[in-house]
Amino acid sequence: ATRADMAAEYEPFFSGTPELSSKADLKTIGFDARFPNTNQTKNCWQNYVDFYRCLKIKGATHQPCKQFLTAFLQLCPTQWVEKWDEQRANGTFPRKDI
């Protein structure tokens, strides 16, 4: 799967959001003080987990959840996201709270 395929999968979350009205509007995320180092692996993981926790707690219509989606789509390799999605679907994802 390509980055465009991943973005298409998450397209429903972009609708109705002015700053994310299309995949073409994706910009590089800003600095996150929680992750000051150049290795962004933990940042990728945390944004993935935060997105799904936000969806579970607040629901898909909660606009602030989209910041986590934008971040992990930009930071995480496609293969990682596909693997994590598969693990969540199979119930084998390391975090059970999402």
pLDDT in tens, 8-21: 677 766 565 555 45
Instruction: Kindly report, residue by residue over 38-92, the tens digit of the pLDDT.
Output: 788 999 999 999 999 999 999 988 999 999 999 999 999 999 999 999 999 999 9
Range 46-52 contact pairs with CB under 8 angstroms and sequence separation of 24 or more? 47/71, 47/72, 47/75, 47/76, 48/72, 48/76, 48/81, 48/84, 49/95, 49/98, 52/88, 52/98
pLDDT at residue number 20 = 47
Which position has the higher pLDDT, 25 or 43?
43
